């Protein structure tokens, strides 16, 4: 890609290893609250439920509080595990409180950031919750790489809404023509960037079948970015 001056990264699943850090958080809070359940069974049920709620949250079909409570409620219900709503609320709070205690990064995150920081202005656009996303960036020592951080809760809309992309471009004092979005979510990151005429690189972190994606730059490893930019 030529004439790129500003790179906008997604955070979760792109740089910050959400799956690993989230799983470790559940091990911690379930033990802390003396919840006698097989954590692997819990996580096997929780992951698809959580993804489904995030898809609904992204299009404003559920609220933040609804997502936080019912992704846990539905998981315990699926496992036929008897637990009070009071404890589910406590687990929901504990999860947010302890999520940033773990800060594993996607392989080659620091490699690419160290290589790119002297050549480009780098930024974050994320749909996560603001109180958690800021802690993730700080505790993982990623904040120092980014000139601007745009969080959907601060803006009032989520990716792929055009407004958040245009807001991030303006905040960064960048131009659409000289910017690129890099992220793992095709709908939120790639389509969102495409809709404002912004270049994009799709990080296929989830290893889905993307053969039918036409005219899309796809990478399987973050270090491949260095061959493109």
| Residue found by looking up tokens 């899309």 in the block | 216
| Residue found by looking up tokens 């989830």 in the block | 206
Q: Where are the alpha helices (DSSP H) in the chain?
A: 18-32, 39-58, 64-78, 85-98, 109-116, 130-139, 152-155, 162-171, 192-195, 225-228
Could you tell me if residue 1 is inside a domain?
A: no
| Residue found by looking up tokens 């709908």 in the block | 187
* DSSP at 212: T
Domain boundary at 63, 81, 101, which? 101
Reference 3, options 200, 153, 206, 179; nearest CA is 179
CA gap 216, 43 in Å, rounded:
32
CA gap 149, 167 in Å, rounded:
11
**pLDDT tens track of the chain, all 229 residues?**
899 999 999 999 999 999 999 999 999 999 999 999 999 999 999 999 999 999 999 889 999 999 999 999 999 999 999 999 999 999 999 999 999 999 999 999 999 999 999 999 999 999 988 889 999 999 999 999 999 999 999 999 999 999 999 999 999 999 999 999 999 999 999 999 999 999 999 999 888 776 556 678 999 999 999 999 9
Residue 168 sits in the same domain as residue 96: no
Q: Is the bond leading into 160 cis (omega within 30 degrees of zero)?
A: yes
| Residue found by looking up tokens 């972190």 in the block | 205
Could you tell me if residue 179 is inside a domain?
A: yes
Residue 129 sits in the same domain as residue 209: yes
Residue 77 sits in the same domain as residue 111: no
86 vs 22, 57, 63, 108, 217, CA distance in Å? 21, 23, 19, 41, 46
Domain that holds residue 95: 18-101
Residue 77 sits in the same domain as residue 109: no
Residue 184 sits in the same domain as residue 171: yes
Could you tell me if residue 182 is inside a domain?
A: yes
Residue 111 sits in the same domain as residue 215: yes
Helix (H, G, I), strand (E, B) or coil at 3: coil
Residue 33 sits in the same domain as residue 96: yes
User: Which domain CATH number covers 153?
Assistant: 3.40.50.1000
Residue 67 sits in the same domain as residue 116: no
CA gap 186, 22 in Å, rounded:
21
Residue 93 sits in the same domain as residue 133: no
Residue 194, classified by CB atoms within 10 Å of its CB into exposed (0-12), middle (13-18) or buried (19+), is: middle
Domain count, the chain: 2
- pLDDT attached to residue 108: 98
Residue 120 sits in the same domain as residue 13: yes
Residue 93 sits in the same domain as residue 119: no
**Residue 86 CB contacts under 8 Å (≥ 6 apart), including other chains:** none
- pLDDT attached to residue 210: 61
Could you tell me if residue 120 is inside a domain?
A: yes
Could you tell me if residue 75 is inside a domain?
A: yes
Residue 95 sits in the same domain as residue 22: yes
- pLDDT attached to residue 93: 96
Q: What is the pTM of this model?
A: 0.92
User: Which domain CATH number covers 27?
Assistant: 1.10.150.240
Domain boundary at 101, 135, 163, which? 101
Reference 42, options 62, 31, 26; nearest CA is 26
Domain boundary at 78, 101, 124, which? 101
């Amino acid at each position: 890609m030529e004439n790129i001056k500003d790179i906008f990264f997604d955070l979760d699943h792109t740089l910050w290893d959400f799956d690993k850090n989230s799983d470790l958080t559940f091990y911690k809070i379930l033990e802390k609250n003396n919840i006698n359940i097989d954590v692997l069974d819990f996580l096997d049920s929780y992951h698809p439920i959580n993804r489904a709620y995030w898809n609904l949250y992204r299009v404003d079909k559920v609220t933040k509080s609804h997502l936080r409570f019912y992704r846990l409620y539905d998981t315990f219900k699926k496992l036929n595990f008897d637990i009070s709503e009071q404890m589910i609320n406590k687990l929901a709070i504990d999860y947010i409180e302890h999520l940033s205690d773990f800060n594993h990064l996607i392989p080659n995150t620091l490699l690419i950031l160290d290589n790119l920081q002297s050549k480009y202005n780098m930024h974050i656009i994320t749909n996560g919750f603001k109180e958690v996303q800021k802690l993730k960036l700080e505790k993982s020592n990623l904040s120092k790489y980014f000139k601007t951080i745009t969080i959907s809760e601060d803006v009032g809309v989520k990716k792929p809404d055009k407004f958040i992309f245009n807001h991030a471009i303006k905040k960064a004092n960048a131009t659409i023509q000289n910017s690129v979005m890099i992220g793992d979510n095709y709908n939120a990151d790639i389509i969102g960037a495409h809709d404002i005429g912004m270049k994009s690189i799709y990080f296929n972190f989830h290893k889905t079948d993307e053969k039918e994606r036409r005219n899309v730059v796809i990478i399987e490893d973050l270090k491949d970015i260095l061959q493109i930019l």
